[in-house]
Chains A and B, each alone.
Chain A
Amino acid sequence: MDASLFFLLNMGYGVLTLALVALGLAVIFGLLGVMNMAHGEFIAMGAYSAYAAQSAGLPLFVSLPAAAVVTGAVGWLIEATVVRHLYERPFDTLLATWGISILLREGIKLLFGVDYKSVVEPVSGSTGVLGIDYPTYRIAVMAALLVCFFLLFLWYRKSHASARVRAMIANPELAAIVGINTERLASLAFAIGAASAGIAGAMLAPLVQIEPYMGINYLLQSFFVLVVGGLGSFQGLFIGSGVIGGVASTASAALGGSGGYVTLLLVSILFLWLKPEGLYAGR
């Protein structure tokens, strides 16, 4: 009984954090068609921002907006200088963002050094949840994510801005004619995608290892999620996270760590081959 409750909570944590991690890439890839290979480095920047905030004596909840601002600014800059010129060349955006990811990683090394950093949990210990003790910070993160995703979902459905965004995805030229400033919207979208990644990094910082190469795994996970779930919709993001999270935990429970990873790769390959638009093609 306890074991299944733990399993469910772990699963919930896994799925929610996967969705959080993949959100930034979903925004950029989904809205702009840019395969942002620097996505993992944005997450890393968020984590390091949390570390920097901690070193400066600031509490963790300050680091969230700080991380968003820093990564958002960097993202905006990258879009303006590099990505903007390459929208017509999708392979080249992949290469260019990959080159940028190397630069960002080297920048982190220069600023912070190559060693591991540690960010302390703002709330430690565990809380009783339905009879079992579960780490408090994890519960806080899960609760916060549930609320945020719900609000984001409502916004996406209802607001004017989201309507403009959806117009832009559907038909950029028409959107431009109608007066939607597609250039500015693209910059904003990229910056927001970067900022979401930054927030993800800052939120997860107390829970994970922090070192300059941490981004690569997050990039891979995000790709898996988007491949399975499909682009351009919230539902897709969650379906993808659910499937990947579920497959990852059940496969690794049954087949061991390496077997789990191999299963994940196989699932992604199958989706890429047979259902490349994902399970929920919102576009």
Chain B
Amino acid sequence: MRVADLSLPLLLAALVAVPFVFGNFTAYQVGLFLLYGIVAQGIALCWGRVGILPLGQALFFGLGAYLGGGALIRFEHSPILLYPALLGAVLVPAAVAGAIGLLVFRRNVGSGPYFSLITLALSMLAYQIALGADWLTGGYMGLNGIPPLPGTDPWSTLYWVILGALVLSTGVLLWITRSPLGQLLHAVSQNEDRLSFLGFDIARLKALAFAVSAALAGMAGALYAAQQGIVTPQVLAYVLSGELLIWTAVGGRASLIGPVAGAVLIGMLTSNLRDTFQYWEILLALLFLAIVLFAPTGLAGLVAPLLKRLPKRAHAVRDVERPLPDRGDPPTLSFEEVRVTIGSVRILQGLSLELKKRGLHCLIGPNGAGKTSAFNALMGRLPVSGGRITWGGRDITGLPAHKVARLGIGRKLQVPAIFHDMTVGAHLDIALWSGGISGWELLGQGAFRYRNEILGVLKEMFPFLNDEDKRAGDLSLGHRQVLEFALAVIARPEVVLLDEPCAGLSTQETADLIAAMRKIAGRFDISALIIEHDFSVVEELSDHIFVLHQGQTLSEGTLEAIRADHKVQAVYTGGTK
């Protein structure tokens, strides 16, 4: 978002100049498309930042328009009631969106098309209701004769109010983007699993972003009602939702003001073309296709590289020490006859194991034994159909991943799950916040401020972590494994689940990582449950080994004990099944 630093004041100046240079009618038109642009900014927040695509954003714009228009009509002469009512036009859409978001995202893991389709269907439903409920919305004819906002004229002075709204929305989005919350939202789009294993409630984050976008849309809708003087059901229709998407995509879905530019440029272009140029829709569709195919970051994305040449602002130094959580007795992690069945496949068939002491434990077994599935069941990723999992005596079966993480259970995935487009520094930040971050801190400005002892040790052992501006996706596999390991342990979990942490690593890298695991686990009292296939690693690492086979514990004990066990030998050398 560095790009925004210079361009924002310039654009604001240009917008201020519009009425003086081009006259009031052009300002009126620009104002209307600025309002659409504000809605588009909200869409960009959801889509470009968080990775969820709202296909029916007109729902909130229309809701704000009807509420705002209704308020202006009813409370035309009582300002005491008018302004709170107008505030309602902003807050009600936000509340509705938040509720929808929570309901949808709690049930659906991942950002599939279902959320998008639900928003589309809801907007179509709202359109039908608006058409039919004459008594509420004026039906087909809509809400007529809406008086202007007191003290403003839609054809001249309202433009300044609209500009103010744009400054407000841009400011809010800038603030969020630069805060820890913004980083978390971005991480959602990068790798939901990783983020939830760090203890963050993905559903709530997504719903929050959605609610913010709805608030912006509602505000724009209320001003729309004041400007147009009439609100008809088309403000809810999928046609408008579609146009908003086009403007967002063309302007730049990952940009703050790109969507506004998209709305103003494209929107005004089509509005002026449609009367005179017969093929305006073809032109628009071709432009849209070209952007989607060749410039997915939109016009803002095309402009951004030019502005990257400008000097960057240096970021703050890590100067706030986060204390490590205390250590008492380790809670016992226990699987009690856990069964996991998917369709007709029995993955875990009565798995029982208990992690009592501190230390490094290994989980081994042939492929398909259910090792990773045991981890997934623990983290709530696989549905448990029988038995239970307890943590410190408390039943945690079926608890969602982020809640399990918050109990002090960390996880590292087999294929390193990292946030590809984010910097190393951002990763470390997020991991440090996972130990607990207050609401105020979430909205604070400036990242890269926290550090703790474990981070210090890790940076010593792995100097590449000091290169905090490096994009994580550019790291080698070895470094990615280490980075993810760092994420899993930084907040000092009680137990960390490591799924083949040395997979794909060279001999040296493996040795380094093993050394790190021993040092950190030992010094900071972190237990580890490690899935490994490489027996040399198992030898190095573990105090205690569980052998899994066909979804059950076959044997457990020290390495010597395991080696001597006939059952284990049979399984590994292909004896009995």
Partners in one complex: yes
Interface residues in chain A, defined as those with a beta carbon under 8 Å from any beta carbon in chain B: 35, 82, 85-86, 89-92, 94-96, 98-100, 102-103, 105-106, 220, 223, 227, 258, 261-262, 265-266, 268-269, 272-274, 276
Report B-chain residues with C-beta under 8 Å of the C-beta of A276. Answer: 108, 112, 114
Pair B296/A272 contact, Cβ less than 8 Å: no
> How far apart are the CA atoms of A86 and B129 in the complex, in Å?
36
A86, A102, A266: the one contacting B285 at CB < 8 Å is A102
Q: Does B288 contact A (CB under 8 A)?
A: yes
The 4 closest A-B pairs by CB, nearest first: A102-B285, A99-B289, A276-B114, A99-B288
Report A-chain residues with C-beta under 8 Å of the C-beta of B114. Answer: 272-273, 276
Pair B103/A90 contact, Cβ less than 8 Å: no
Given A95-B288, A98-B242, A276-B108, the answer on whether A266 and B125 have CB atoms closer than 8 Å is: yes
Q: Does B85 contact A (CB under 8 A)?
A: no
What's the interface size class on B, roughly? 20 to 34
Nearest residue (CB) in A for B249 is A95
Pair B125/A273 contact, Cβ less than 8 Å: no
Given A96-B289, A102-B285, A276-B112, the answer on whether A258 and B128 have CB atoms closer than 8 Å is: yes
Report A-chain residues with C-beta under 8 Å of the C-beta of B22. Answer: none
Pair A223/B284 contact, Cβ less than 8 Å: no
Q: Does B292 contact A (CB under 8 A)?
A: yes
Report A-chain residues with C-beta under 8 Å of the C-beta of B286. Answer: 99, 103
> Can you pick out 29 interface pairs between chain A and chain B where the beta carbons lie within 8 Å of each other?
A91-B47, A92-B292, A95-B288, A96-B289, A96-B293, A100-B289, A102-B285, A102-B288, A103-B282, A103-B285, A103-B289, A106-B279, A106-B282, A106-B285, A223-B117, A227-B117, A262-B125, A262-B132, A265-B121, A265-B125, A265-B128, A266-B125, A268-B121, A269-B121, A269-B125, A273-B118, A276-B108, A276-B112, A276-B114
Q: Does B104 contact A (CB under 8 A)?
A: yes
**Closest beta carbon of chain B to A271's beta carbon, Å:** 9
Report B-chain residues with C-beta under 8 Å of the C-beta of A272. Answer: 114, 117-118, 121
A90, A91, A261, A262 — which one has the most chain B CB atoms within 10 A of its CB? Answer: A91
> How far apart are the CA atoms of A30 and B479 in the complex, in Å?
38
Q: Does B53 contact A (CB under 8 A)?
A: yes
Pair B296/A89 contact, Cβ less than 8 Å: yes
Report A-chain residues with C-beta under 8 Å of the C-beta of B113. Answer: 35, 90, 94
Given A96-B292, A262-B128, the answer on whether A102 and B121 have CB atoms closer than 8 Å is: no
Nearest residue (CB) in A for B286 is A103
Report B-chain residues with C-beta under 8 Å of the C-beta of A266. Answer: 125
Report B-chain residues with C-beta under 8 Å of the C-beta of A100. Answer: 285, 289
> How far apart are the CA atoms of A265 and B104 in the complex, in Å?
16
Pair B124/A265 contact, Cβ less than 8 Å: yes
**Closest beta carbon of chain B to A248's beta carbon, Å:** 14
Pair A99/B292 contact, Cβ less than 8 Å: yes
Contact with A along B264-307 (1 / 0, CB 8 A): 00000000000000010110111011001100100000000000
**Closest beta carbon of chain B to A228's beta carbon, Å:** 12
Q: Does B384 contact A (CB under 8 A)?
A: no
Pair B47/A262 contact, Cβ less than 8 Å: no
Q: Does B107 contact A (CB under 8 A)?
A: yes
Interface residues of B in 371-417 (CB under 8 A from A): none
Nearest residue (CB) in B for A103 is B285
Interface residues in chain B, defined as those with a beta carbon under 8 Å from any beta carbon in chain A: 47, 53, 103-104, 107-108, 112-114, 116-118, 121-122, 124-125, 128-129, 131-132, 242, 245, 249, 279, 281-282, 284-286, 288-289, 292-293, 296
Report A-chain residues with C-beta under 8 Å of the C-beta of B124. Answer: 220, 265
Report A-chain residues with C-beta under 8 Å of the C-beta of B242. Answer: 98
> How far apart are the CA atoms of A238 and B285 in the complex, in Å?
34
Nearest residue (CB) in A for B294 is A85
The majority secondary structure among interface residues of chain B is helix
Report B-chain residues with C-beta under 8 Å of the C-beta of A102. Answer: 281-282, 284-285, 288
Pair B121/A95 contact, Cβ less than 8 Å: no
> How far apart are the CA atoms of A86 and B294 in the complex, in Å?
11
> How far apart are the CA atoms of A99 and B114 in the complex, in Å?
21
Report B-chain residues with C-beta under 8 Å of the C-beta of A273. Answer: 103-104, 107, 114, 118
Nearest residue (CB) in A for B129 is A262
Task: Known pairs A91-B47, A273-B107; list 20 more (Cβ under 8 Å).
Answer: A82-B289, A82-B293, A86-B292, A86-B293, A90-B113, A92-B292, A102-B284, A102-B285, A102-B288, A103-B285, A227-B117, A262-B129, A268-B121, A269-B118, A269-B121, A273-B103, A273-B114, A274-B107, A276-B108, A276-B114
Given A35-B113, A106-B285, A227-B117, the answer on whether A258 and B292 have CB atoms closer than 8 Å is: no
> How far apart are the CA atoms of A273 and B53 in the complex, in Å?
16
> How far apart are the CA atoms of A77 and B173 in the complex, in Å?
41
**Closest beta carbon of chain A to B341's beta carbon, Å:** 16
Report B-chain residues with C-beta under 8 Å of the C-beta of A227. Answer: 117
**Closest beta carbon of chain A to B454's beta carbon, Å:** 36
Nearest residue (CB) in A for B280 is A106
> How far apart are the CA atoms of A128 and B121 in the complex, in Å?
41
**Closest beta carbon of chain B to A18's beta carbon, Å:** 17
> How far apart are the CA atoms of A151 and B125 in the complex, in Å?
38
Report B-chain residues with C-beta under 8 Å of the C-beta of A274. Answer: 107
> How far apart are the CA atoms of A25 and B402 in the complex, in Å?
36
Nearest residue (CB) in B for A227 is B117
**Closest beta carbon of chain A to B110's beta carbon, Å:** 10
**Closest beta carbon of chain A to B124's beta carbon, Å:** 6
Nearest residue (CB) in B for A265 is B125
> How far apart are the CA atoms of A261 and B125 in the complex, in Å?
9
Given A35-B113, A95-B249, A223-B117, the answer on whether A269 and B122 have CB atoms closer than 8 Å is: yes
Report A-chain residues with C-beta under 8 Å of the C-beta of B129. Answer: 262
A92, A261, A276 — which one has the most chain B CB atoms within 10 A of its CB? Answer: A276
> How far apart are the CA atoms of A266 and B122 in the complex, in Å?
8
**Closest beta carbon of chain B to A277's beta carbon, Å:** 9
**Closest beta carbon of chain B to A19's beta carbon, Å:** 20
**Closest beta carbon of chain A to B104's beta carbon, Å:** 6
Nearest residue (CB) in A for B123 is A265
Nearest residue (CB) in B for A226 is B117
**Closest beta carbon of chain A to B350's beta carbon, Å:** 27
Report B-chain residues with C-beta under 8 Å of the C-beta of A261. Answer: 128
Nearest residue (CB) in A for B287 is A99
**Closest beta carbon of chain B to A269's beta carbon, Å:** 5
Nearest residue (CB) in B for A259 is B132
